[in-house]
């Protein structure tokens, strides 16, 4: 009992709160001895009530269980994760020190490290145990936030990141609004509309080129996203060309319709990682003439049904 009390004290002192160990032990004993609460549950309950009393963020360090990234299913939950940083994007925001993508064997999640968290920087391709991070939910996707109560522990082990790589073959059946030439907020990289970022207000947007499309194999549709490089490779339309069209026609949608003309109704095989609802295309191939073997195979199946 004393040990558990010491553990809790330790966790609270990390958050900068010093609680007499006797006080903790007494609370534990009340629950365990008097109310027959199992020790684990008592630990949790005591930590929670102390957190409330001392105004510390909830269940600090008490949840020792590790969550898998794919199990994140609610916002504002404190979790511990082990994962490998697969990508870091530069943040130009004053309050965010790092933004990136971390993955484990179950999936990927975007992370945001606040400047105020005063934590060391994460590096790409390195593995970490992230303690006491908070889940968040925005535009259909979960993310995690690293704040003052979070802890970053570098790991020696290598974490096998989920091969989220998916290959999908089918016809492009939709090129969606928001494709073509767009402007992003220089701070958070979100797409801005009429020069206004949802988070940062009026900003000087940065041009980008992308395609939001749907590939469909007759069994299920899949939302796909082409970034600037892949878009240029796929359509032969450079960002410079796109800007020129927009200047010439005074209409940003001209880029989207040019893209649509080139890819709608055509068959592709695309490869990439699934993040949220989208497959982020890393490579693609346009499918040309059919293979003779495939035709023969289908013919044979048809003949079998006739006999």
Partner 1 sequence: MREVAQRVFAKEFEDSNLSYKKGDEKYSPNYVLTPTGAECNRLFIVGTLTEKEDIGVEVEYWRGRIVDPTGVFQIYAGQYQPDAMRSLTEIEPPTFVAVAGKVSVFTLEEGDVRTSIRPEFVVEVDEDVRDRWVLETANMTLERLRALNEKSTESAKMALEHYDTDVVYYAKIVRDALLTLRHEKREITKEAREIAEEWWDEEDVEELEIEEKKEEKKDKREKGEEETGLDLWEDFTEDYFDV
Residue 47 vs 274, nearer CB to partner 1: 274
* 287 is a site residue for partner 1 (CB under 8 A): yes
Parallel, antiparallel or unpaired: strands 151-154 and 108-114: unpaired
With CB under 8 A as the contact rule, the residue among 115, 191, 220, 259 that binds partner 1 is: 220
Residue 163 vs 220, nearer CB to partner 1: 220
Residue 32 vs 259, nearer CB to partner 1: 259
Write each residue from 157 to 176 as x if it is in contact with partner 1 (CB under 8 A), else as -, in one continuous string. Answer: --------------x-xx--
* 59 is a site residue for partner 1 (CB under 8 A): no
Write each residue from 179 to 218 as x if it is in contact with partner 1 (CB under 8 A), else as -, in one continuous string. Answer: -----------------------------------x-x-x
With CB under 8 A as the contact rule, the residue among 3, 18, 121, 294 that binds partner 1 is: 294
* 250 is a site residue for partner 1 (CB under 8 A): no
Write each residue from 116 to 145 as x if it is in contact with partner 1 (CB under 8 A), else as -, in one continuous string. Answer: ------------------------------
* 288 is a site residue for partner 1 (CB under 8 A): yes
- The minimum distance between CB 221 and partner 1, in angstroms, equals 5
CB atoms closer than 10 angstroms to residue 80: 18
Asked if residue 101 lies in contact with residue 85, where contact means CB atoms within 8 angstroms, the answer is yes
Asked if residue 166 lies in contact with residue 279, where contact means CB atoms within 8 angstroms, the answer is yes
- The minimum distance between CB 197 and partner 1, in angstroms, equals 28
- The minimum distance between CB 267 and partner 1, in angstroms, equals 5
* 177 is a site residue for partner 1 (CB under 8 A): no
- Tell the residue number behind the tokens 């391709």, with chain if given: 125
CA-based nearest residue to 268, from 168, 166, 164, 165: 168
- Tell the residue number behind the tokens 């008490």, with chain if given: 62
Specify the stretch interacting with partner 1 by CB under 8 A; choose among 99-107, 155-163, 199-207, 284-292. Answer: 284-292
Specify the stretch interacting with partner 1 by CB under 8 A; choose among 7-15, 67-75, 145-153, 264-272. Answer: 264-272
- The minimum distance between CB 240 and partner 1, in angstroms, equals 25
In terms of C-beta distances under 8 Å and separation of at least 24 residues, what long-range contacts does 79-82 make, across chains too?
79/133, 79/134, 79/135, 79/144, 80/129, 80/130, 80/131, 80/132, 80/133, 81/109, 81/129, 81/130, 81/133, 81/144, 82/127, 82/128, 82/129, 82/130, 82/155, 82/159
Asked if residue 126 lies in contact with residue 98, where contact means CB atoms within 8 angstroms, the answer is no
Q: What number of chain residues touch partner 1 (CB under 8 A)?
A: 32
Q: How far apart are CA 14 and CA 94, in angstroms?
A: 26
Q: What does each C-alpha distance from 8 to 38, 75, 153, 286 come to in angstroms?
A: 16, 25, 19, 59
* 290 is a site residue for partner 1 (CB under 8 A): yes
CA-based nearest residue to 133, from 155, 110, 156, 105: 110
- Tell the residue number behind the tokens 């908070």, with chain if given: 134
Chain residues that interact with partner 1, rule: CB under 8 A: 171, 173-174, 214, 216, 218-221, 223, 257, 260-261, 264-267, 287-290, 292, 294-296, 298-299, 301-303, 305-306
């Amino acid at each position: 009992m004393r040990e558990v009390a010491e553990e809790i004290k330790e966790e609270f002192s990390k958050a900068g709160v010093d609680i007499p160990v006797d006080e903790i032990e007494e609370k534990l004993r009340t629950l365990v001895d008097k109310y027959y609460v199992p020790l684990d549950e008592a630990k949790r309950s005591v930590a929670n009530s102390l957190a409330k009393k001392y105004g510390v963020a909830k269940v600090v360090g008490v949840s020792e269980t590790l969550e898998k990234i794919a199990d994140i299913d609610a916002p504002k939950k404190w979790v511990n994760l082990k994962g490998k940083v697969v990508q870091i994007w530069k943040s130009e925001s004053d309050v965010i020190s790092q933004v990136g993508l971390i993955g484990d064997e179950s999936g990927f999640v975007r992370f945001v490290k606040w400047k105020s968290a005063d934590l060391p920087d994460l590096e790409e391709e390195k593995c970490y145990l992230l303690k006491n991070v908070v889940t968040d939910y925005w535009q259909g996707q979960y993310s995690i936030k690293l704040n003052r109560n979070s802890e970053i522990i570098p790991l020696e082990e290598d974490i096998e990141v989920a091969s989220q790589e998916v290959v999908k073959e089918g016809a492009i059946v939709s090129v969606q609004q928001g494709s073509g030439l767009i402007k992003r907020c220089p701070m958070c990289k979100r797409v801005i509309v009429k020069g206004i970022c949802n988070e940062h207000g009026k900003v000087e947007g940065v041009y980008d080129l992308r395609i939001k499309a749907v590939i469909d194999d007759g069994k299920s549709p899949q939302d796909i996203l082409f970034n600037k490089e892949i878009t240029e490779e796929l359509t032969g339309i450079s960002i410079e060309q796109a800007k020129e069209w927009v200047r010439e026609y005074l209409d940003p949608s001209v880029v989207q319709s040019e893209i649509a003309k080139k890819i709608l109704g055509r068959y592709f095989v695309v490869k990439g990682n699934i993040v949220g609802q989208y497959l982020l295309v890393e490579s693609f191939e346009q499918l040309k003439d059919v293979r003779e073997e495939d035709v023969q195979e289908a013919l044979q199946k048809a003949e079998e049904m006739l006999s």
